[in-house]
Amino acid sequence: MKTILILLCIFSIGITSCNKDFLDLNPKDKATSETFFKTEAQFQEALTASYYYLRDLYFYDYVLGEMRSDNTHYDYYSQDRGNSALYREQVADFTDDAINIHTNTLWIAAYKGISKANVVINRIKDVEIADAAKNTITGEAKFLRAFYYYKLVRYYGDVPLYLQEVGDTDQAFALRTASTEVYNSIIEDTKDAIQKLPTSTTFPQSGRASKGAALILLADVYMTQKKYAEAEPLLKQLTQMNYGLQPNYADVYALGNKNGKESIFEVQYKQGPDGQQNPLLYHFIPKVSNSTNITGVNTNTITSGGFNTPTSDLISSYEPNDTRLDASIAIAEGTLVAGTFNPERIKSSVNYVAPEGKIGKPFIKKYLHAHTVANNTDDNWPVYRYAEVLLFMAECLNEQGKSSEALPFLNLVRVRAGLPQSNQNNPVLLRGVIDHERRIELAFENKRWLDLVRSGNAIKVMNAYGAALKASGQHAYLTPNSYMVTSKHLLFPIPNRERIINTLLTQNPGYLF
């Protein structure tokens, strides 16, 4: 929040600290807060600033959304005990605290995005631009504000709710708002966005929020609140729009299908020198001194790579002949050279057994595509896909006692993956089938931890997973207090740096500071 406050104070100084008696120092050849926010183009620029922080947020979201779960872990490297590695490992092992940089920085990214959205929402009201443009810009800004708050409330619980521009320190330092009120604000914003945003009918889409994105966000909120009857008509509306599944699972992530017919909302990236590139692939491949035999581009990832590594628990969960395994996970095969892994080739993860004298290290394959510069890829990040609409639809129907109606939606996803249709109509057993499909279909899209919390299974599943890690004998580095998961871990701690700056913030139960 300190960063946000400084930026906002700088931004507003021209309208809050000057009067006509003072020399006007505003440069006449540059936009200021007095001369900006007048035209549709200027509001589009301001809106882009809110979109920008999605990239910052998703740079850290995989740590909280996947590494916290049984889907991914990390490649432990005893020689690298720097904070960058330790903080990610601590989130995965449930030993994190309020000074963890990853939970801190995600909080900051979300609030920066919110602050930018608030500027647009507050200032566009009284500007004379075409109604259609005003509605679309407002709808996008409200979608973004709701989306950022949805991340915050699910990860941290009660959080400060800012719905206006922050103009002074009295407004900046706010108490935490009850999560019920935060959810109410998210719902209100998303409903308004649904009314204001256009429907995407052609592909590829623009990458901006659309009516479909707002519909699935609101449905997601209702699913989290277990308001299945409210979610159902929203999801049904999405099935009647122009979205559809790609023929093959791997096609979903192909660069030629960015913002394609299965995409409802993606974080936009573009390789090149203008700062819009996606670096995440190089966090996900193994720790190597030369990455050429994995990515086709040479760089050293010994300190930056080896994170979000697919677990054997996840790999063993794929059903036979599930095409999503080969599309999602690959094996870097090689040897150890002076204690460092030297990859020689990429192998399929299907039934993989390392040959004698070789080591196989799994990594996320679905984001591996051609590029020319290390840490600079063209892959978008999938936030909402049509497959999730189908799985949500199956879940909400099953939870309302309509199990037979749920099966066609579930089976569209299964058949695309090369699996037989499910005929399970026992609601309790079908719930487990749907949970499994979500885990496999949405693997490495930052859904798993939040799904475990939403289903009430997080404590049981993660304690069992941790016990299995320790019993395997392959993870001697795990401390005795790792994977001792309790109800406190269902929320992340409020960042300590925010509590130092804003003394009104209380800490979540169970965390020391």
Q: Is the pLDDT of residue 118 over 90?
A: yes
Beta strands 329-337; 359-364: pairing state = antiparallel
Kindly state the tokens that stand for 192.
């308004």
Q: Is the pLDDT of residue 7 over 50?
A: no
pLDDT tens column, 369-425? 999 999 999 999 999 999 999 999 999 999 999 999 999 999 999 999 999 999 999
Q: Determine contact, residues 394/434, Cβ cutoff 8 Å.
A: yes
User: Angle at the Cα of 450 (from 447 to 454), degrees rounded to 5?
Assistant: 125
d(CA 9, CA 16): 9
Interval 56-66 mean pLDDT: 97
Residue ranges of the chain that CATH labels 1.25.40.390: 2-12+36-197+491-501
Rg of the chain taking only CA atoms, in angstroms: 23
Report the first-to-last Cα separation within the chain, whole angstroms. 17
Q: Is the pLDDT of residue 110 over 50?
A: yes
Q: Where are the alpha helices (DSSP H) in 177-210?
A: 179-196
CATH class belonging to 2-12+36-197+491-501: mainly alpha
pLDDT tens column, 287-322? 999 999 999 999 999 999 999 999 999 999 999 999
What's 347's DSSP letter?
A: E
Interval 46-68 mean pLDDT: 97
d(CA 232, CA 392): 9
Rounded to the nearest integer, the mean pLDDT of the chain is: 93
Q: Is the pLDDT of residue 16 over 50?
A: no
The lowest-confidence range among 30-44, 45-59, 187-201, 475-489 is 30-44
